[in-house]
Amino acid sequence: MATSAPAQRRTSREGGPLGGAFRYLILTAFLLFFIVPIIWIWLSAFKAPKEISRNPFGLPEVWRWGNFVEAWTVGRFGQYLGNSLIYAVAIVGGVTILASLGGYALAMLPLPARNAFLLTFMLGLMIPFESVMIPLFYLERDLGLLGTYFGFIVPGIALRLPFGIFLMRGFFRGLPGELADASRVDGANEWQTFRNVMLPLAWPGMAALIVFQFLWTWNQFMLPLVMVQKDELRPVSTGMMFFFGRFTAQRDLIAAGAVIAMIPVLVLYLVMQRRFIEGVTAGALKS
Amino acid sequence: MTASWRRWRAGLIFLLPSLALYLCFVVNPFIQSIWFSLTDWDGASKVKEFIGLANYRELFADGLFWQALRHNLVWVLIGTAVPLMIGMLLAQLMWSKPRGFTIYRTVFFLPHILLSTVIGIIWAWIYNPIFGILNKGLDAVGLKDVSRGWLGDPDWALLAVLVAAMWATIGFVFVILLAGLQNVSRDLLEAATIDGANGWQRFRDVTIPEMANVLNVVTALLLIGGFSVFDLIYVMTGGGPNNASQTLATYTFEQAFAQNRVGYGAALSLVMTVLALVTSFIFIRLRERGEEVR
């Protein structure tokens, strides 16, 4: 510490135009650029439609909590949020369980043609969703999945497995294999070794996977747009769009709806901020 | 039963559910895409008639395809370069953990967690010709001539959506670059300073090479994302006005699901996929070659 302190001081003094007050000026300018639009929509959610255009940045004259009630019921936001929650739990759960098993097998167990499996899953990491979308729609139609929750859940899991498997494989490879050997010597079978010894150690990896997966599922747009066309089954990401279509003129309700749709992820983000950012970083870099 | 056979079998059983689901719902439709693209199927008729490469021939003569591709290229170029530059600037400024570090980082990343529908509505409002704050701001500083209905103007619609997209991407790029900066050796920077390198030289000759891997990953993600961009465009302009913001993905969607030209849509989606993969492949190769030369 004693040696690094002068170095720190020197870099900040030598920072030239990017040091000192100027740095805070730039950082604060970007802070405003990112936050002001969000604050604007929050304030608008409490206003009357005319007030939104007349007085965009002022506080509401009257705080109209009724906007939220109306968006929740008339705009069916309660229903959309419930659906999003169902999709998130099912897809995140499915991906986490299957990817842990698969990632463990590819990292720790002797598999024939392991590289062929890895290459196959690699394909899924690289291709954009659009390249499978069209036949997937007709496949779901033929299987009777359209018009059910599974229309989004099943491909939602399948499409995210490659990412999850590579992430979990990376975490399992970082664990000491001797632990698994010791457990086998003690007479545990492969399932017990996985479940009782290795899985608990991979918890940090799973937490990152869960966070990343949740954000991805919640924000997923094109997949439910194509596969979920019944309004009762729509998640908030696409349901909201049709709500905008029906209520274009009612800007107060649109803003209230946008705020409602924002809240679950926002709360999670603010509470688990560090884990969120770590999860997203690990997700991006480890894949 | 030997121990090795037991482990071998366990591996297969652990992998099987993932593999089955993945083969059925990802690999299978991907291969079918190739087959669909060689037919003129409309999604309803019983037979899919094989027409060879006719869809691809039509595509290369289709003015709308080229227009959409141009829009994707604009998106890829600006949408990769600008977030990388701003993300790097912010990461550099935040490297030494200034006061308020957590607040800045929380806010910078915040737009990235929002639904594209929410981002779309926020920015559609900002651009609104009647009550949008962008026009109000321009009017206030005396630039009334510049203000317009941004999303309805063919010259501006694409850029307007791109700005909204970058608003949400910069924080993501920033967070990853900041993580990458943690791996840059301070000793090396120190040594460069002693050797008389100025700030820019240190950045170019030490920081950038040390972060090569992270930069590669982020750039590849942005490139692939730029070729397949759909959500925000669909929400904000639907590809309009008059195809002014149409991209390969929105055009594919329209052909396959609105016009029921399933075969043609499949061909479009595959051309887009190849473009995205080839571009990121070339990019990574160029980077590798650059490293060797160095």
- In A109-149, which ranges are continuous DSSP H helix? 114-126, 130-143
Domain that holds residue A227: 75-286
SS (H, E, C) A179-212: HHHHHHHCCCCHHHHHHHHHHHHCHHHHHHHHHH
Q: Is residue B59 part of a domain?
A: no
Own/partner contacts of B44-53, CB < 8 Å, gap of 24 or more, are: B44/B260, B48/B263, B51/B263
Q: Is residue A22 part of a domain?
A: yes
Same domain, A36 and A173: no
ipTM for the predicted complex: 0.89
Same domain, B18 and B70: no
Using left for φ > 0, alpha for ψ between -120 and 50, and beta otherwise, residue B243 falls in left
First to last CA, chain B: 55
Same domain, B70 and B164: yes
> Which tens digits make up the pLDDT trace of B53-89?
989 999 999 999 999 999 999 999 999 999 999 999 9
Same domain, B86 and B23: no
Same domain, A191 and A252: yes
DSSP, collapsed to helix, strand or coil, labels residue B233 as helix
**How far apart, in whole angstroms, are the C-alpha atoms of residue A170 and residue B50?**
43
Same domain, B214 and B285: yes
Q: Is residue A8 part of a domain?
A: no
- Tell me whether A177 touches chain B (CB under 8 Å): no
Number of domains in chain A: 2
Helix axes of B157-181 and A20-44: crossing angle, nearest 10 degrees: 130
Q: Residue B34 to residues B43, B44, B63, B160, B247: CA-CA distances in angstroms? A: 15, 18, 23, 34, 21
What is the pLDDT at residue A243? 85
What is the pLDDT at residue A121? 92
- Tell me whether B171 touches chain A (CB under 8 Å): yes
Cβ within 8 Å, pair B98-A219: no
Cβ within 8 Å, pair A102-B14: yes
What would the two tokens of residue A4 be?
């690094």
- In the stretch 106-125 of chain B, residues with CB closer than 8 A to chain A read 106-118, 121-123, 125
Which parts of chain B have pLDDT scores under 70?
1-3, 290-294
Q: Is residue A69 part of a domain?
A: no
Q: Is residue A70 part of a domain?
A: no
What is the pLDDT at residue A1? 34
Same domain, A54 and A174: no
Cβ neighbours of residue B111 under 8 Å, at least 6 residues apart?
A34, A38, B119, B167, B168, B170, B171
Given a contact cutoff of 8 angstroms between Cβ atoms, the answer to whether A240 and A258 are in contact is yes
**In the 8-state DSSP scheme, what is residue A250?**
-
Q: Is residue B48 part of a domain?
A: no
Domain that holds residue B200: 64-293
- Tell me whether A48 touches chain B (CB under 8 Å): no
What would the two tokens of residue B31 be?
């291969």
Give the CATH number of the domain where residue A234 resides.
1.10.3720.10
DSSP, collapsed to helix, strand or coil, labels residue B203 as helix
Using left for φ > 0, alpha for ψ between -120 and 50, and beta otherwise, residue B132 falls in beta
Give the CATH number of the domain where residue B135 resides.
1.10.3720.10
Number of domains in chain B: 2
Same domain, B171 and B249: yes
Within 8 A of B115 by CB-CB distance, chain A residues are 218-219, 221, 236-237, 240, 261-262, 265
Q: What is the number of other CB atoms lying within 10 angstroms of the CB of residue A70?
A: 18
The CA-CA-CA angle for residues A197, A282, A286, to 5°, reads: 85
Q: Residue A227 to residues A223, A236, A238: CA-CA distances in angstroms? A: 6, 14, 11
Q: What is the number of other CB atoms lying within 10 angstroms of the CB of residue A174?
A: 12
Q: Which amino acid makes up residue A159?
A: L
Q: Is residue A33 part of a domain?
A: yes
**How far apart, in whole angstroms, are the C-alpha atoms of residue A136 and residue B136?**
45
**What's chain A's length in residues?**
287
> Which tens digits make up the pLDDT trace of B193-242?
888 888 888 888 888 888 888 888 898 889 888 999 999 999 999 888 98
Same domain, B261 and B167: yes
Residue of A nearest to B236 (CA): A241
Same domain, B15 and B121: no
Nearest to A133 among B3, B10, B269 (CB): B269
What is the pLDDT at residue A12? 43
Same domain, B15 and B78: no
**How far apart, in whole angstroms, are the C-alpha atoms of residue B37 and residue B52?**
9
Nearest to A215 among B93, B113, B253 (CB): B113
What is the pLDDT at residue B89? 93
Given a contact cutoff of 8 angstroms between Cβ atoms, the answer to whether A121 and A107 are in contact is no
Q: Is residue A11 part of a domain?
A: no
Q: Is residue A116 part of a domain?
A: yes
Written as tens digits, the pLDDT of chain A (287 aa) is 333 444 444 444 444 555 678 889 999 999 999 999 999 999 988 988 888 777 777 888 888 888 888 888 888 888 999 999 999 999 999 999 999 999 999 988 888 888 899 999 988 888 999 999 999 999 999 999 998 999 999 999 999 999 999 989 988 888 888 888 888 888 888 888 888 888 888 888 888 888 888 988 999 999 999 999 898 999 999 998 888 878 777 888 889 999 999 998 899 888 888 877 877 777 677 65
Same domain, B138 and B189: yes
Same domain, A80 and A59: no
Given a contact cutoff of 8 angstroms between Cβ atoms, the answer to whether A240 and A261 are in contact is yes
Q: Is residue A176 part of a domain?
A: yes
Same domain, A45 and A95: no
pTM: 0.89
What would the two tokens of residue A206 be?
């799973």
Same domain, B148 and B21: no
Same domain, A126 and A256: yes
Same domain, A53 and A79: no
What is the pLDDT at residue A2? 38
Q: Is residue B33 part of a domain?
A: no
Same domain, A204 and A255: yes
Residue B288 has φ and ψ, to the nearest 5°, of -60, -45
- Tell me whether B223 touches chain A (CB under 8 Å): no
What is the pLDDT at residue A14? 44
What is the pLDDT at residue B61? 93
**How far apart, in whole angstroms, are the C-alpha atoms of residue A239 and residue A229?**
9
Same domain, B157 and B249: yes
Same domain, B91 and B17: no
Residue of B nearest to A254 (CA): B121
Q: Is residue B51 part of a domain?
A: no
Same domain, A52 and A139: no
What is the pLDDT at residue B285? 80
- In the stretch 65-84 of chain B, residues with CB closer than 8 A to chain A read none
Cβ within 8 Å, pair B32-A135: yes
